[in-house]
Amino acid sequence: MNTRTPAKGHFIVLEGGEGVGKTTQITLLHRAMEAAKLSARAVREPGSTKVGELLRPLLKGYAYPEINEWQALCGYNFARTAYIFEVVQPALAEGVWMLSDRFAFSTIVYQGYAGGLDEAVVQAVTNGVVGNHWPSLTFILDAPAEVGLARSATDTHASRQDGSRYEDKGLTFHQKIRNGYLKLLEEYPHKTIKIDATQSVAQVHQNILQALNQRFALNLQPVQI
């Protein structure tokens, strides 16, 4: 019988406002981990489960434009339960590194800080769903709201159907998003790292790898872009 304990994996999340480059950086990080012979999986939230993928077009607003923030709060956390128990938890038990494009901080920021719902209620609902499954580390990719919006508007690789209802909101809303993430950096200093997303893709990638190498004693090397 094989009693070997699998190598320890970690739950790593990339967060931030629109246009900061999360999806690109998740892809690069996944490639870097594979090159280092680490077992890793890149996932997205909402998504990566049957329930999550069914709910994604509703929650993102392009299949249900009438969605309000209360519905979004409940919907994201509904999808999150499947995400945690069907994807994240089993993979971590096998020693897989889980690399997630968004997680619970997105709900706290988008529905709470910027969306206008009572922050204590949003925190309580989200904490109740996440329980002890918070990420080992969350990178918050930070850029001025106007920079992120300009990038989103000119991103020729993004289809409208995988966009977000939030991209059409005004600058003031997106400034609230940025401020919300900056607030989380202050509230969770040991679980979050701020990355300057105004830098080049290569420099952001290198900064993420450097932080992971230091935190987890890894030897990740940048991949070709």
Quick one: pLDDT at residue 110? 96
Q: Which CATH superfamily is domain 11-216 in?
A: P-loop containing nucleotide triphosphate hydrolases (3.40.50.300)
| Alpha-carbon distance values, 13 to 25, 70, 100, 141 (Å) | 11, 24, 5, 11
Per-residue pLDDT in tens (0 to 9) along the chain, 225 residues: 444 445 689 999 999 999 999 999 999 999 999 999 999 999 999 999 999 999 999 998 888 888 999 999 999 999 999 999 999 999 999 999 999 999 999 999 999 999 999 999 999 999 999 999 999 999 999 999 999 999 888 764 444 455 566 777 889 999 999 999 999 999 999 999 999 999 999 999 999 999 999 999 999 999 998
Going by C-beta distance under 8 Å and a sequence separation of 6 or more, which residues neighbour residue 90? none
| Alpha-carbon distance values, 188 to 71, 149, 185 (Å) | 27, 26, 5
Based on its alpha-carbon atoms, the radius of gyration of the chain, rounded to whole angstroms, reads 17
pTM greater than 0.75 (yes/no):
yes
How many whole angstroms separate alpha carbon 197 and alpha carbon 62? Answer: 27
* Boundaries of every domain in the chain: 11-216
